Amino acid sequence: MTVTTQLTFAKALNSALRRSLELDPKVVLMGEDIGRLGGVFRITEDLQKDFGEHRVMDSPLAESGIVGTAVGYALRGYRPVVEIQFDGFVYPAFDQIVAQVAKLHARSLGTVRIPMVIRIPYGGGIGAVEHHSESPEALFAHTAGLRVVSPATPEDAYWMLRQAVDSEDPVVFFEPKRRYWDKGEVDTERPPAPLHAARIARPGEHLTLAAYGPMVKVCLEAAAAAERDGLSLEVVDLRSLSPIDFPTLEESVRRTGRLVVVHEAPVFLGTGSEIAARVTERCFYHLEAPVLRVGGFHLPYPPSRLEETYLPDLDRVLDAVDRALAH
């Protein structure tokens, strides 16, 4: 039976956490203000009321302590899901994540598992103040031992979070905060795609646009605009940043002959750099133009009144498309 509901991205995440709490008594949630308040973005709204303070725990303002405590829970057989309130707040916990969470399985020669999820609202577009609009995903994707994912639609938000909670490995779960209020269809009964599989969000013939998280919607808008000029752009939603589903992406590039990678994070040493290098190595004889990248600038995230200049938009994506097609 198909059960399809219209949900916002935020409500889809809330529903996924609720279902995980219902199905597994070992699932616990931790984070600043996630209990009585329901989180800054209300992702955990009503969960403490329904499941109790012993499973939905308000923590002190100490990100390193939150993640460190969650490691202890994971070692004792629980499945902790921690919320980092904003992307720029994750850095105090960076040592715990890359030195402990990512390495305990290898350090123990495979005898220890750390099944935990680190939820991080990330990216810009909400007019926030300093430290509230970062894109640190490349830091974690670079670290072996972590799975790193970022959904772009409410349905993926629901299913990917469910799958992340069920994973035996630690998952860094990046949530595009500017998409929290976007609505979409969510089928809570369909078999989900594998957690790390990319998807073809829009088929096309002349060029591939690869994106994830907040930029998938921008790329779909760019493809719709290009269609009015007679261009057919394929949009690949990567969904996962570690591992990356290169076979799906490479198959697309072999058909279109061109690739533009789009993300909010700075272009310099960003995820797009690895994608460009790998696709160039594996699809060299199919490429009709160099792989191009569109992203943020290599500077600290600007004040909110300037963020629209900093963030990739429709015009910057279409400019890269034009440059790729000029070859």
Which of the residues are catalytic? Answer: 132
| Distance (Å, whole) CA 229 – CA 89 | 43
Residue whose C-alpha is closest to residue 214's, from 174, 238, 260, 178: 178
Token readout for 54 is: 């012993």
Q: How far is CA 29 from CA 68, 148, 155, 189, 190, in A?
A: 14, 19, 21, 24, 25
Q: What share of the chain is helix, strand, coil (3-state, %, to 5)?
A: 40, 20, 40
Distance, first Cα to last Cα, the chain: 49
Distance CA 269, CA 207 (A): 23
Residue 275: closest CA among 295, 300, 299, 297? 295
Compute how many other C-beta atoms are within 10 angstroms of the C-beta atom of residue 282: 15
> What does the chain come to in residues?
327
Distance of CA 77 to the CA centre of its chain: 26
| Exposure b/e, 176-211, CB count within 10 A at least 16 = b | bbbbbebebebebeeeebebbebbebbebebbbbbb
**HEC letters along 77-117:** CCEEEEECCCHHHCHHHHHHHHHHHCCHHHHCCCCCCCCCE
Q: Which residues pair with 79 in a beta bridge?
A: 27
**Cα 190 to Cα 187: distance, rounded to the nearest angstrom:** 6
Q: Is the peptide bond before 243 cis (omega within 30 degrees of 0)?
A: yes
Query: For tokens 């005898």, what's the residue?
Result: 111
